[in-house]
Amino acid sequence: MSFNPDLVEHAYEIAKEQFHQYGVDTEIAMQVVAQIPISLHCWQGDDVAGFEHSDTALGGGLAVTGNYPGKATDADQLRQDLNQAYALIPGKHRLNLHAIYLETNGKKVDRNNITPTHFSRWIDWAKQNNIGLDFNPSCFSHPLANSGFTLSHQDVHTRQFWIEHCIASRTVAAEMGKQTGSPCVNNIWIPDGFKDTPIDRKTPRDRLTQSLDSIFKIKHDPNHLLDSVESKLFGIGSESCVIGSHEFYLGYAISRKKLYCLDAGHFHPTEVISDKISSVMNYLDQILLHVSRGVRWDSDHVVTLNDELTAIAQEIVRSNYTNRIHIGLDFFDASINRIAAWVIGTRNMIKALLIAHLEPIQQMRQAEINGDFTARLALLEESKTLPFGAVWNYYCQKNNVPTESEWLTEVRNYESEVLSLRG
């Protein structure tokens, strides 16, 4: 399918006038959205395998389903795939790396010994492409994580190993932020928890607190590094008790002045993080979002333009949190083309932000202040049928990326010319 550029512009001019009648400036909306970076997650490109080249199976309650051909098997291939994905996404965005994506030239480097040198090629690539980097310790898929416990492990030596890994990860992240000129968000997530009902929940949480305090003793320039901690309700193998729960990490982040990560797939299926954002932002300067899509017990489906994604973006925009919230994606699907998954999820996040910026917010807010809830509801509903699609196509065209499903043709071509040759 090919879109005529003249028709895209003509449709946009009509839509621009319709939005103007509601007091919405489409040009300003596009300008603001263009300044919001989304951090793409590297692990969608290779099913969370990483490049340690060990025999350890994926652990920590994580599971990736599907075997779509052509996945990246080394860092060069992954960077090649990322370049293709970024070329189909409007705006300038970031990359979120896990520690297991290091490059060691075939040498065995355990995780407590990683250094910025092992990520130098990632840093060089990011600088060449003007891409900001974010980072994560990898506290899973390792022999010392097989018990299901890491930073809260009762064995002091195991616990110390993971403390050292997280300290090393912060050093890597700080160097990434320094060299790219953009603060690197280093986010700590651990799988620690009990499959069945524990007798003692307190002691493991005490140990986790002590471990985190040890990790954060070394100070880094906040212009280079921002520390974040991520909670979870439950995971496979930790159904009865997760040590790093929502309440635990929210309290820790507030008391230690760290970022708190709200992951859209880490709560009960009836919970939504859009309703939590304004609450936690009352007590934190900044937060991290991991935008995902939970389906039953799986937390990480490709992001679609559903009600919750739209609500997340609306909460960010309506509350003027754009400069205080870091948006990252977190999903992995090996049943479909992995590059397409990146493109679909990221474009949907940007679409949601654009939709939020195209709302007649001032009119709706004034109606609410006046107690005119009838007008508020009417405006909410009428805004849903305003011609957002015409603005989105024009936004893509302005950013020199394919409109609508045109991007899929490019993915198919890349699949034929590159992915199919990987065997």
Beta bridge partners of 193: 242
Is-catalytic flag, 230?
Answer: yes
At 105, list the tokens. Answer: 């030239």
Catalytic residue among 41, 153, 165, 290: 290
Q: Is 333 a catalytic residue?
A: no
The DSSP result for 272-339, as a single string, is: -GGGTHHHHTTT-S-EEEEE-EEETTEEEEPP-S-HHHHHHHHHHHHTT-TTTEEEEE----SSS-HH
Which entry of 93, 153, 232, 246 is annotated as an active-site residue? 232
392 is catalytic: no
Residue 201 has what DSSP assignment?
Answer: S
213: annotated active-site residue: no
Instruction: List b or e across 324-334, with b for residues whose CB sees 16 or more CB atoms inside 10 angstroms.
Output: ebbbbbbbbbb
Contact (CB, 8 A) for 228 and 184 = no
Is the Cβ–Cβ distance between 294 and 270 less than 8 Å? no
Residue 65, CB-side half-sphere exposure with 13 Å CA sphere: 5
Distance of alpha carbon 347 from alpha carbon 130, whole angstroms: 19
Amino acid at 258: K
- Is 74 a residue of the active site? no
Whether 274 contacts 314, CB under 8 Å: yes
Our answer to whether residue 330 is catalytic in this structure is: yes
Q: Which of 263, 308, 315, 359 is catalytic?
A: 263
Token duo for residue 404: 């609508």
- Distances in Å between the Cα of 265 and the Cα atoms of 251, 262, 273, 285 are 20, 9, 9, 23
**Structure-token pair, residue 37:** 């970076």
Quickly count: other Cβ atoms within 10 Å of residue 77's Cβ: 17
The catalytically annotated residue of 9, 110, 298, 372 is 298
Those residues with Cβ within 8 angstroms of residue 109's Cβ, 6 or more apart along the chain or in another chain? 102, 118
| Residue of 46, 47, 300, 415 marked catalytic | 300
DSSP label at residue 155: S
- Catalytic residue selected from 162, 189, 342, 392: 189
* In contact, 31 and 379? CB cutoff 8 Å: no
Whether 298 is catalytic is yes
Choosing from 93, 165, 224, 266, the catalytic residue is 266
Q: Catalytic pick from 134, 227, 230, 359?
A: 230
CB-hemisphere CA count at 13 Å for 12? 20
Tell me if 17 sits within 8 A of 395, measured CB to CB: no
Burial class, 32, CB count within 10 angstroms (exposed 0-12 / middle 13-18 / buried 19+): middle
> How do 293-295 and 298-301 pair as beta strands?
antiparallel
Residues marked as catalytic: 189, 230, 232, 263, 266, 290, 298, 300, 330
